[in-house]
Structures are given as C-alpha cells and as structure tokens.
Amino acid sequence: MGAPLPDVIQTAVITGGANGFGACATRALHAAGFRVVITDIDQEAAGALASELDLAGDTAVTATLDVSKPEDFQTVLDKVVDRWGGAEVLVNNAALTQAMPVLDIDPAEFNRIMAINAGGCFAGCQTFGRHFKARGYGRIVNMASLAGQNGGTATGAHYAASKGAILTLTKVFARDLAAFGVTVNAISPGPMDTPMVHGIVPEDKMDGFLKNIPVGQLGAPEFVARMVTMLCGRDAAFVTGACWDVNGGLFMR
C-alpha cells in the first residue's frame, strides 16, 4: 500500500488543459494549491492561461503534447521530473469529435478519434501510472462522457465509443494500481453550457432540450472542475475505479 505524500506542493499534468473543461480544471487545481503543467497542441492558448495563473512561471507552465503520440507523454513526464522531481496528478482531458451519422463515419476517421480519445487516455495512464506506482502515490482522473454510457450519437458514434473505452480503461488501471497508493477515476459530464452543446442544439430547440434534463438546465463546466479537484486530493484515497456522473439526472444508476 502506498504511503501518503508529505505535506508538499503537488504537481498536476492536464492534457488538453488550455481550453474548455481542461482550462476549468487547470484553474481549479491551481487555485487549490497545485502546480499545473498545461499540456496542449494549442500552445498559444496554453501560454496565455499559464501567464494568467502565474506570470513568473513558478507554479504554471506549458508543454506541447499530442495525445495520439505515446512518446509525448514520456517527454512531458521527463521534463516534470527534471524540474520538480515528479508529478502526483494526471488529468486525461484531451479529446476530439466531429458529429456525423454513424453510417457516414469513415473507418479512418473512426480510428483517428479512437487514437486521440481512448488511445491518449491509455498512453497517459500507462506512462504516468508507472511513475506513480514507483513513487507509491498518484491520482489519475479520466474525462469520459454521458455519450459513453448511454450510446448517445449526437457527438458522433466514434466519440461515444471512445468514451466508453475510457470507462473500461479506468477500471482496469484502477485495479492494477490500487495497491500502490494510486487511484484512477472517471468523470462523465452530461450536457454543459459550452460552445459544443450550443453548436449541436439550435437555440430555437433549447427549451425543449432542457425539459428532458431532470434539473432543467445545462451544467456549468466549473461543476466538473470541482469534481476533478476533489478526486485529485489526498482525501480521495478510498475512491477508485469509479465513474462520477455530472449530468443533471439524465443518466441515473
């Protein structure tokens, strides 16, 4: 069983950390006292966020990471080890989708989305999982989706399939790493007040869409960020292999 870390500043690596849910999670973790490594292919946005959080660059830095390239994870981890001795948290957030009917999805496009979303999650869990296991402590949070639970196709069947795979990977890594002080959990957001949802649901149909959500409103990305922060804390040591639903009651179990 891994031993709790001493009361020191911890370092969190967030994939796709410059925009959307990733940026919200980055801000929340930094506010909670974590050093943050904002990894993204959008280095302009990552740099802007890092400067916003800490202009001196002592507690917020950036790193280029293409999650479809497993070797990029090791490169980022090596940089973190060189600078701060290691990391304690990984948030696998980076993802991509292109909504289209399932019969129109080209096999190459299906494989591309799976490589980025599910493959990136696997590579991150594997690379950082080894690091956390060796240190006897770690927190991994994987961003899944309601689509991966209910087979929703509004965001694309390939996206839904990749998020379903993430839920399974979360359980596999959680079982393998539990004895070493490493927890692995997933968060499955439902419809959020984000550009993606507004791009899928026309404004003239939004009222009808909201009536199908038990709480009657879209969620705020900050709800997800707070859940990330909770799962990354020391007090979450007895929580692993779980999927945390943030969906306004759309999917109950």
In CATH, what number is assigned to the domain containing residue 67?
Answer: 3.40.50.720
Is 6 part of any domain? no
Is 5 part of any domain? no
Gap between the Cα atoms of 244 and 118, Å rounded: 18
The residues annotated as belonging to the active site are: 159
135: nearest Cα among 186, 84, 98: 84
Q: 71 lies in which domain range?
A: 11-246
Is 60 part of any domain? yes
Average pLDDT per block of 10 residues along the chain, 253 residues long: 64 96 96 97 96 96 96 98 97 91 95 97 98 98 95 88 98 98 97 82 89 92 96 96 95 90
Is 3 part of any domain? no
Contact 160, 151 (CB under 8 A): yes
Phi/psi at 189 (5° precision):
-75, 145
Q: What is the pLDDT of residue 6?
A: 52
Is 91 part of any domain? yes
Is 251 part of any domain? no
14: nearest Cα among 88, 121, 89, 72: 89
Is 45 part of any domain? yes
What ranges make up the beta strands (E) of the chain?
Answer: 11-15, 35-39, 60-63, 89-92, 138-143, 182-189, 243-246
116 CB-near residues (< 8 Å, 6+ apart): 67, 68, 94, 95, 96, 162
Is 183 part of any domain? yes
Quote the pTM value. 0.93
Phi/psi at 56 (5° precision):
-75, -20
- Residue that the structure tokens 């292999």 belong to: 241
Total tally of structural domains belonging to the chain: 1
